Amino acid sequence: MKQHAFSRVRIDAERRTIHLLAKHQVTPGMLRLQFLCENPGTFQSPSADDHVKVFLPVDGGASTIARDFTPRAWDAQAGTLTIDFALHPQGPAVDWARDARIGDSLQMGGPRGSAVAPTDFDWTLLIGDSTALPSIARRLDALPRNATVHVIAIVPDISEESYLAEHETVGITWLLSSTDAAVNLHRVIMTLAGTRLPSGDGFIWIAAEESIARGVHRYAQETLSHPKEWIKASAYWSAGRADGGARIA
């Protein structure tokens, strides 16, 4: 089996203040916020799978609660960080993002480290729900223009398709999400069962609600017999838990 070099970058996690510069409604379900970072010279985000921890005010600002987000874009020269917020019905992150005004500030930490996937696979399969779209978009940005790549995206509404509109040459299967995670898992697995994967070495990346991510990861290993070293899976959130993100494989 060919070796593909996954690399880990050690980063000294630093807490810093970020100030809101701009807001933009990318799709009905995705709100883009651009921040100016204090002390930007030490910030790094080399991987599409990086996460920063944002500390959001609760209880009228008396305390904070932490949530993880994928940096959608980082401009080191300008010192600006772009974060896309998937708009769930409610929650401290969504509430803050909707109500935030230009000039508002937050505390942010991380990334604590970075796992960089190689781009020398023969093909790439990216599977995720709406919370994973920023990471999927960033990964598509990093892949060579002639890369063989397919995306399976689970979204609450067909209008979310426009989020990846600039990647029009990429094959994307859009699945409408259900409130039942088991239904969403079944839809993804049925889609995979009907998909003819290309020959050669393939990288499968999965990020979604925990039960979906675990189920798809299991299917890729046990049914597709895909090498476990070439599968990366994460739970970006867990149903019934406020902050249930976890690395699966």
At 140 the pLDDT is 97
Based on the fold, state whether residues 22 and 131 are members of the same structural domain: no
CB contact at 8 A, 227 and 1: yes
Same domain, 219 and 234: yes
Confirm whether 2 is domain-assigned: no
61, part of any domain: yes
Q: Which CATH number goes with the domain that contains 177?
A: 3.40.50.80
185-201 pLDDT tens trace: 999 999 999 999 999 99
Closest CA to 185 of 197, 175, 171: 175
**How many CA atoms lie within 13 Å of 42's alpha carbon, on the beta-carbon side?**
14
Check whether residue 107 and residue 166 sit in a common domain: no
Integer Cα distance of 105 and 201 in angstroms: 44
Is 34 in the same domain as 126?
no
The predicted pLDDT at position 113 comes to: 86
Same domain, 73 and 124: no
Cα 245 to Cα 10: distance, rounded to the nearest angstrom: 20
* Same domain, yes or no: 172 and 75: no
Same domain? For 127 and 103 the reply is no
* Low-confidence winner among 99-108, 217-226, 239-248 (lowest mean pLDDT): 239-248
Structural domain contains residue 54: yes
Last residue of a domain, one of 114, 134, 154: 114
pLDDT value at position 99? Answer: 95
Q: Is the pLDDT of residue 242 over 70?
A: no
Cα→Cα distances 186→17, 25, 120, 174, Å: 42, 31, 30, 14
Do both 78 and 199 map to the same domain? no
pLDDT top residue among 134 and 2: 134
Q: What is the pLDDT of residues 36-65, one digit of tens each?
A: 999 998 999 999 999 999 999 988 888 999
Strand order in the sheet with 231-237: 171-176, 149-155, 123-129, 202-209, 231-237, 246-247
Q: What is the rounded average pLDDT for all residues in the chain?
A: 93
* SS3 per-residue string spanning 124-189: EEEEEEHHHHHHHHHHHHHCCCCCCEEEEEEECCHHHHHHHCCCCCCEEEEEECCCCHHHHHHHHH
Percent of the chain predicted with pLDDT > 90: 80
**Predicted pLDDT of residue 64:** 93
Same structural domain, 128 and 91: no
Instruction: Answer whether 136's CB lies under 8 Å from 167's CB.
Output: no
Tell me the C-alpha to C-alpha distance, in Å, between residue 48 and each of 7, 139, 157.
13, 5, 24
Chain mean position to CA 70: 6
Positive or negative torsion for Cα 76, 42, 4, 189: negative
> Are residue 108 and residue 177 in the same domain, yes or no?
no
Of the candidates 87, 114, 141, which is a domain's last residue? 114
pLDDT at position 222 over 80: yes
67, 56 contact by CB (below 8 A): yes
**Residue 66 sits in which domain range?**
7-114
Please check whether residue 33 is in contact with residue 19, taking contact to mean a CB–CB distance below 8 angstroms: no
Indicate the helix (H) or strand (E) that contains 214: helix 210-222
Q: Residues 2-30: pLDDT tens digits?
A: 789 889 888 888 999 999 999 999 999 99
122 with 214, same domain: the answer is yes
Neighbours of 166 (CB within 10 A): 11
Q: Classify residue 141: in a domain, yes or no.
A: yes
Intra-chain end-to-end CA distance of the chain, in Å = 19
Within a domain: 18: yes
**Residue 1 falls inside a structural domain:** no
| Other C-beta atoms lying within 10 Å of the C-beta of residue 137 | 23
Inside any domain, residue 76? yes
Res. 126: pLDDT tops 80: yes
- pTM of the entire predicted model: 0.94
Say yes or no: 243 and 131 in one domain: yes
